[in-house]
Amino acid sequence: MESLWEQTWEQPSFPALDGDRNTDVLIVGGGMAGILCAYQLHGAGVPYVLVEAETICNGITKNTTAKITSQHGLIYDKLVSKFGIQRAKQYLAANEAALETYRQLCRNMDCDFEEKAAYTYSLDDAGKVDRELNALDKLGFSAECTDQTPLPFHVAGAIRFPHQAQFHPLKFVSGITKNLHIYEHTRVQELIGTTAVTDHGRIRAKKIIVTTHFPFLNKHGSYFLKLYQHRSYVIALEGAPNVDGMYVDQAQTGMSFRNYKNLLLAGGGDHRTGKKGGGWRELRDFARRHYPQAKEVYHWATQDCMSLDGVPYIGPYSASTKDLYVATGFNKWGMTTSMVSAMILSDLVQGKKTPYEEVFSPSRSILHPQLAVNGFEAVTSLLTPTTKRCPHLGCALKWNPAEHTWDCPCHGSRFTQDGKLIDNPATDDLNN
Ligand SMILES: Cc1cc2nc3c(=O)[nH]c(=O)nc-3n(C[C@H](O)[C@H](O)[C@H](O)COP(=O)(O)OP(=O)(O)OC[C@H]3O[C@@H](n4cnc5c(N)ncnc54)[C@H](O)[C@@H]3O)c2cc1C
C-alpha cells in the first residue's frame, strides 16, 4: 500500500548517529516539518543536527496529497470571528509567505511543481462560501466565488484562490536534503534537559525542536488533550479527467481532488482514527459511478494531527519547558504549515523576533468544544474492557478491518495485526 510518491522516488539515505555529539539545535523527526527546519537553520549558518527514527519522510509526509496553499478549507471566517482580524491576517500572511518560499525553492528543482488554483466547495451551503469571501475581503485578500467546477457533481458554491501550487513532495525533499546534517535510524528515546538519549549515543544541544508529528513527550504541553488524529484515504485513477486545480470539500468527511501527470488523485472516506468511516470503499463507489472507464493504479491511507481550533501549534513546547520547541497539529495542511514552522522556529531558536508567532502559540487557550469530544473519547476508551490496550495511555484499541490494524481512538496510535507500532504517539509495540 505504498503511495504514488514512494513508488516514483529515489530515496536518499543518511547514516545513523555514531556516538555522542554536541550541537546548537537538535531537530527530532525527519518529516516535512523537521526537514524544512533543518534547511532553514542550514541556510542561516546555525549548527544543527536532525535525527530521524527510521528513514526521512517515512511518517505522514510520504502519504500527503501535496497541495501547497494558504486556503485551508473555510478557515478565515472562523479565524476572524474567534481570533480577530489581526491574528487572521497573521495566519494568512504566514501561509502566503510559505507558498512563496516553496515557489522560489522549486524554481530550479525537479519536483513537478505546478501553479494551480485552489478551491474549497460546499455541496449544500452557498452561505458558508459567501461568509468566507467576506472574511477574506476584510483581510485584503482577493478570492473569487463560483458554482462552476469540472467536478462530476453540482456544488452550491466554491471559493477560488488563484496562484496556489502542487508538487511531488518526495522529489522536493530529495532536492533540499542533499547537504543537510541528517541521521536516520536514530530514535530519540528520552530527553534529559536538552540532552537527547538516542539508541546510538547522546546529543547535547542548546535547544531542541520536536517535529515528531504527534509530540513524543507526554509530561508537558497537554498534547494528549489538545490533539487527535483523523484518517483519510486516497486513490489514484488513470483515465479520469484533468480537473485543472486542487479541490477540497469544506466538510471534514468530504472529498478532495488534484491531478498528478495523467492521474487524478481522489481523497476522502475520512474518520477519526479508531472510528469507522467510508475508507477506500467510498472512493471506489464514487469512481465507479462517475468515472466508469478509469482504472485505479495506486491507493493509500494516512492520518494527520488535528488541533482543537484548527490552527497548528508552533512555538515553545509548553510554558514550563525552556529551550524546547514544537510544530504539530497541521490539520491536513502540513505543506505550508511545515514551512511556517521552519520560518517561526528558526527565528525563535536564534532568539529573533518573528512576525507570525502569536496566532500559532501552543500555549493559547484550550477552551473549545473539541476538548470535550477528546475528553469523552478518552474516558469511554479507558473504561472499555478489552485486552488490546494502547501502550501510550492505556486506551482500548479498535480493530480496523480495511487496513488490518489495531487503532487507538483517543490519540491515533496504530499497530499491525501482530502488534508492531505503525503510528505514534505510542513509542512501543503491543505486548501480545
Ligand atoms: C490524506 C492526507 C492528505 C494530505 N494532503 C495535504 C495537502 O494536500 N496539503 C497539505 O498542506 N497537507 C496535506 N496533508 C498534511 C501533511 O501531509 C502533514 O501535515 C505533514 O506531512 C506532516 O509532516 P510532519 O513532519 O509533521 O510529520 P511526519 O511526516 O509524520 O514526520 C514525523 C517524523 O518524526 C519521526 N519520529 C517520530 N518519533 C521520533 C523519535 N522519537 N525520534 C526520532 N524521530 C522520530 C517519524 O519517524 C517521522 O518520520 C495531508 C494529510 C493527510 C492525512
Domain ranges, ordered by start, for the chain: 6-64+171-224+311-360, 369-419
Sign of the dihedral defined by the CA atoms of residues 278, 284, 290, 296, in that order: positive
Ligand 1 pocket, residues with Cβ under 6 angstroms: 28-34, 51-54, 58-61, 64-67, 187-188, 211-213, 216, 232, 234, 267, 302-304, 330, 332-336, 338, 424
Ligand 1 pocket check: which of 213, 338, 414 to mutate, most ligand atoms within 8 Å of Cβ?
213
Q: How far separated are the first and last CA of the chain, in Å rounded?
A: 25
Check residue 431 and give its pLDDT.
78
* Alpha-carbon span 196 to 21, nearest angstrom: 10
Q: Spell out a b/e string for 86-112, using b for 16 or more CB atoms within 10 Å of the CB, else e.
A: ebbbbbbbbbbbbbebbeebbeebebb
Q: Ligand 1: distance of its center to the CA of 396 in Å?
A: 24
The candidate with the shortest Cα–Cα distance to 120, out of 131, 110, 111, is: 131
* Alpha-carbon span 274 to 369, nearest angstrom: 20
Check residue 89 and give its pLDDT.
98
Q: Ligand 1: distance of its center to the CA of 105 in Å?
A: 20
* Over residues 165-185, mean pLDDT: 97
CATH number of 6-64+171-224+311-360: 3.50.50.60
Q: Ligand 1: distance of its center to the CA of 59 in Å?
A: 6
* Alpha-carbon span 386 to 395, nearest angstrom: 9
**Could you count the other beta carbons within 10 Å of the beta carbon of residue 349?**
24
pLDDT band per the 50, 70, 90 thresholds, residue 263 = very high
Ligand 1 pocket check: which of 28, 304, 305, 325 to mutate, most ligand atoms within 8 Å of Cβ?
304
pLDDT band per the 50, 70, 90 thresholds, residue 432 = low
Measured from the CA of 305, which atom of ligand 1 is nearest? 19
Helix (H, G, I), strand (E, B) or coil at 189: strand
User: DSSP H helical segments within 45-125, as ranges?
Assistant: 75-83, 85-106
Q: Ligand 1: distance of its center to the CA of 143 in Å?
A: 29
Ligand 1 pocket check: which of 170, 270, 272, 332 to mutate, most ligand atoms within 8 Å of Cβ?
332
Does pLDDT of 63 surpass 80? yes
CATH number of 369-419: 2.102.10.10
Q: Do domains 6-64+171-224+311-360 and 369-419 have the same CATH topology?
A: no
Q: Ligand 1: distance of its center to the CA of 338 in Å?
A: 9
- Cell numbers standing for residue 191: 530527553
Check residue 386 and give its pLDDT.
81
**Atom 25 of ligand 1, residue of closest alpha carbon:** 31
| β 405-407/398-400 pair status | antiparallel
* Alpha-carbon span 231 to 329, nearest angstrom: 13
What is the per-residue pLDDT across 92-129, written as a single tens digit (0 to 9) for each?
999 999 999 999 999 999 999 999 999 999 999 999 99
Check residue 387 and give its pLDDT.
79
Measured from the CA of 303, which atom of ligand 1 is nearest? 53
